[in-house]
Amino acid sequence: MTEKLTGGQALVAGLQRWNVDTLFGLPGVHLDHFFAALYPVKDKIRILHSRHEQGAAYMALGYAMVTGRPGVFTVVPGPGLLNTCAALATAYACNAPVLCITSTVNLPLLEKNYGSLHEISDQPGVLAGLTKWSARANYAAEIPELMDEAFRQMLSGRPRPVALEIPPEIMGQTALMQYPNEIPIIRHPTPDPEKINAAADLLGTAKEPLIIVGGGAQDAGTEVLQLAELLQAPVISRQMGRGIVSDKHALSIQAAAGHQLWKTTDVVIGIGTRLQQVREWGIDDNLKVIRIELDPVEITRIAPPAINLVADAGEACQALYNVLKKRNVSRADQTAKFKSIKQDFRKELERTITRQVEYLDVIRDALPEDGILVDELTQVGHVTKLAMPVYQPRSLLTSG
């Protein structure tokens, strides 16, 4: 339905359209029309106000990393936006769906260097280096299309932050607007059946398969585990992949503990991971790599895989499992072997970094299984990746 809305009201309508119920932000004169439009829906969109723009952006990042849903924040332009750069850069590195809504100086003053309030040079260039996609609305009627595109870009393929700039007078400008009846469909590439069969051929003859998971597999834990159990393959994770398969499961092994398996591994499946282990641990002609990854650029970055599957992690794992199951592929139970590796590694950590492990044991005992721990670049923070048992995805937040 076509409605007469301000630019600020169109922004709010877009947030509600995409089921955003939480907004992190710091108001300012450039955002007045946006906050005025938020007031009538205060029972539907809660606003969490921070003392500093960096706090708003990091809260949106934390929200996105814990929930898997878009984390949205709004800050004034110029220095306000610059205060959020570290959080946006971290969101980009950690593949987090974060939307930054900011403003500019008034359109006639852009790039004039008059010293307007919060003016900086080339703000779009700043955003381009920190986001997957960014755009500016030059008139209010553009906002519905740009909001839909922002969410489509953020959630399609490899999730990463996006940004939308709305000049102050455009926030207040009134126009006839209409969002389409349906939100854009978020599409992922379908697993290629020929490549699924080729991967099954490799795994059907593998003697020592190994799975490495990263942040791109956080929503595919069920599919990863059933594939791992069928193959009796250990699931290795280092940071973003922790908890995809619970550390209570014998097949879940922290990467450093699993390093000893590398010398006998003949097929490795990388699922939603940069596969830094291949770069660090080495590769030879005897090791075949299967990569499942949404980003077609990332999929060949570390080493050209024998088979690349540009697809959603869960869909590709399920398709691969179905083919292997149909072929009656199975391996002898390996859980006792992996359980022993985990126990030996734990004893070594307790012997060599005793104090840090003791701190983490206390934290783990105090946390429920779905409790969330945010690490930091400290001794205990680094050891968290080695010694903290993680039982669910998105429960260990790390800057990766």
Question: What stretches in the chain show pLDDT beneath 50?
Answer: none
The pLDDT value recorded for residue 74 is 98
Spatial distance between the Cα atoms of 192 and 198, rounded to a whole number of angstroms: 10
Q: Which of 162, 166, 107, 105 is nearest to 141 (CA)?
A: 166
The pair phi, psi for residue 210, each rounded to 5°, is -145, 140
The pLDDT value recorded for residue 267 is 97
End-to-end CA distance of the chain: 44
Q: Which of 28, 152, 16, 24 is nearest to 87 (CA)?
A: 24
In the numeric block, the tokens 């199975």 are attached to 330
The pLDDT value recorded for residue 114 is 83
Q: In this structure, are residues 387 and 360 in contact, taking their beta carbons and an 8 Å threshold?
A: yes
Q: Is the whole model's pTM more than 0.85, yes or no?
A: yes
